[in-house]
Structure 1
Amino acid sequence: MQLGKAVRLERIMNRNNGRTIIVPLDHGVTVGPIYGLVDLRETVNQVAEGGANAMLMHKGIPRCSHRRHGRDIGLIIHLSASTSLSPHPNAKTLVGSVTDAIKLGADAVSVHINLGDETESRMLADLGAICSEANEWGMPVLAMMYARGPKIENEYDPDVVAHCARVGVELGADIVKVNYTGDPKSFVRVVEGCCVPVVIAGGPKLENELDLVRMVHDSVQAGGAGLSVGRNIFQHPNPVKIVAALHKVVHEDWDIDAAMELL
């Protein structure tokens, strides 16, 4: 691995265990300025204070969230987008470049791919091109890999999730983000088929903290590298506390009961 890429990866991942807590803040393009994404400096302060390794956002948002104080946190620039207003919300379009991320001081870039969508071929071409360009600069790539389209009956099916993860690594991603399959035994298969770190998505807003803590705990025990969770963190009543609890699970191997006592 290039030294530059290794250095950047250590800024967004724990160098001792290869795990990470990433908080995506890119939802404003998809659904607008929802709760938790209005005062971005305060949100970043909270997730950083709780112990998150990195935040993820579109290229226009660092100017609204750079704090000049507080605990440091890694920066991942998201390069693809679509909106909920579109008739084709699963068709992601490139809206940024590796060069944009470099100019912003980013530690990594990310791309969202929806396998099974009618525009899958274009999204795959975009991922391949971004991975090639990023590799030239020693810039890590996080691939958000989902299965969403007419032929997809269950996007959480272990075989489908494993396929998604494998596509990401095959095309050059350094970290792959996928849905959690629902239990450790099936998620082991996803991790085993992917030779780069695999992190789980948070999905829709969960009903309670226990569901989130259990999902993260079980995925890590199955060999996962942590999480990339947005709404279930930045819309939590106390983002500092929920991140701190997840930090104990991911980076210190706390069990579920101990993490819930902290909450």
Structure 2
Amino acid sequence: MKKYRLNRLFNEKSNRCLNVAIDHGFFNENIFLKSIENLQLAVETVATAGPDAIQLTVGQAHYLQSLPGKNKPTLVMRTDVANVYGKSLPSHLFSRMISDPVAQAINQDAACVVVNLFQIPGQPKVSDHCIQNILKIKPLCDRFSMPLMIEPLVFQSNELEGGYMVDGALDKILPLVRQAVELGADIIKADPTTNVNEYHKVVEIAGKIPVMVRGGGKVSDTEILTRTKAMIEQGVSGIVYGRNIIQHRNPVAITKALMGIVHHDLTVDQALEFLN
């Protein structure tokens, strides 16, 4: 049964997925709201480009699911909320899961749920929260045949630059990705490594579990397309991009450009044509 829902996520020809994350408002950070102040408009705009999936929260999924017709993107539903992203962190950090997450996802007709697995320097309690969240949701996902996407994220120390700073060190990403697989992930959503050409090792450590790469902070068109092309060549099963799409001057065009690389193996120059 999980396979049936996974079929709604992955393209039938490329067997890859482009998931647009628009769940940033869940985390109570003003900077995350840029370009999604009007979330209905953001969802409708991205949906017109036809990505495979859009990632939303339980309170905002209706903007996608109420769109008419049968060809709209598939819903991936965020199930946990955390307060670990600000430049000035609060004294008490947490990661909490919504109640009855799988039942709520089924009610929203989601094809997948997503939950974080944080590794933050000096914050083992947050990692414990994440593991407890996963231990609770995993048997529910199995019972109701709901695919579980786990998002292993290795942070740099907040004292270095502040904010949501990703650590791209391969030796830190590999064990956390493997832990996510061991905990029962059906899909991995992980950060890119600093050296993109090492990413096949992340795919290898995940075994048969498909790995999708996060986009991270906003970068130039050429950089995001070049990185995406390199990741596809490293064997990933897709991408999960948020700000590089929703904060783009033309979200529809960049989505189509990325889909050209993900599904049709276009070159970077060919993909850039969508933006001209």
1:21 to partner: Cα distance: 0.5
Distance, in Å, in 2 between the alignment partners of 1:37 and 1:169 is 32
Q: What count of residue pairs does the alignment treat as equivalent?
A: 259
Match of 1:205 among 210, 214, 218: 218
Choose from 161, 164, 189 the match for 2:201: 189
CA apart distance, 1:138: 0.6
Supply the distance in 1 between the matched residues of 2:218 and 2:91 (Cα, whole angstroms). 22
Is 1:118 aligned to 2:130, yes or no? no
> In structure 2, how many angstroms separate the alpha carbons of the residues matched to 1:123 and 1:36?
29
Cα 1:226–1:214 shift into 2, 3 Å = same
Match of 2:247 in 1: 235
Query: 1:125 Cα deviation (Å)?
Result: 2.1
Distance 1:88 1:46, change over 3 A: farther
Q: What is the distance in 1 between the residues matched to 2:239 and 2:254?
A: 13
What amino acid is aligned across from residue 118 of structure 1 in structure 2? P
Change (3 A) 1:244 1:35: same
1:103-252 equivalences under 5 Å are 103-116=107-120, 117-119=123-125, 120-148=127-155, 155-195=167-207, 196-206=209-219, 208-252=220-264
CA RMSD, 1 decimal = 2.3
Compared with structure 1, are the counterparts of its residues 89 and 74 closer, same or farther at alpha carbon in structure 2 (3 Å cutoff)? farther
For the structure 1 residues 151 and 132, does the alpha-carbon distance in structure 2 shift closer, same or farther, using more than 3 Å as the test? Answer: farther
Match among 15, 19, 28 for residue 25 of structure 2: 28
Q: Is the 8 A contact 2:43 2:63 kept in 1?
A: no
Superposition TM-score, scaled by structure 1 size: 0.90
SS in 1 for 2:138: helix
Structure 2 SS opposite 1:228: strand
Contact 1:80 1:94 in 2 (8 A): yes
How far apart are 1:82 and its partner, in Å? 1.7
Residue identity over aligned pairs, in percent, reads 27
8 A contact 1:41–1:67 mirrored in 2: no
How many angstroms does 1:39 deviate by?
Answer: 2.5
Distance between the aligned counterparts of 1:131 and 1:183, measured in 2?
32
- 1:95 corresponds in structure 2 to 98
**Cα deviation, residue 144, structure 1:** 0.9
Deviation at 1:45, TM superposition (A): 2.3
| 1:89–1:41 CA distance, 2 compared to 1 (3 A) | farther
Inter-partner Cα distance in structure 2 for 1:16 and 1:90: 42
Matching residue's letter, 2:108: L
Question: 2:217, 2:92 → 1: CA distance?
Answer: 16
Aligned with 2:245: secondary structure?
A: helix
Q: Deviations over 1:67-95 (max 9, x none)?
A: 43264110011111123566168632112
Q: Secondary structure at the match of 1:214?
A: helix
The question of whether the paired residues in 1 share the 8 Å contact of 2:191 and 2:213 is answered with yes
CA pair 262-60 structure 1, distance change in 2 beyond 3 A: same
| Stretches of structure 2 lacking an aligned partner (at least 5 in a row) | 161-165
Match of 2:272 in 1: 260
> Structure 1 residues 89, 257: CA separation in 2 closer, same or farther (over 3 Å shift)?
farther
Q: Name the TM-score, length of structure 2 as normaliser.
A: 0.86
Contact 1:56/1:76 (<8 A) preserved: yes
Asked if 1 retains the 8 angstrom alpha-carbon contact of 2:62 and 2:108, the reply is no
SS of corresponding position for 1:77: strand
Q: Are 2:70 and 1:73 aligned?
A: no
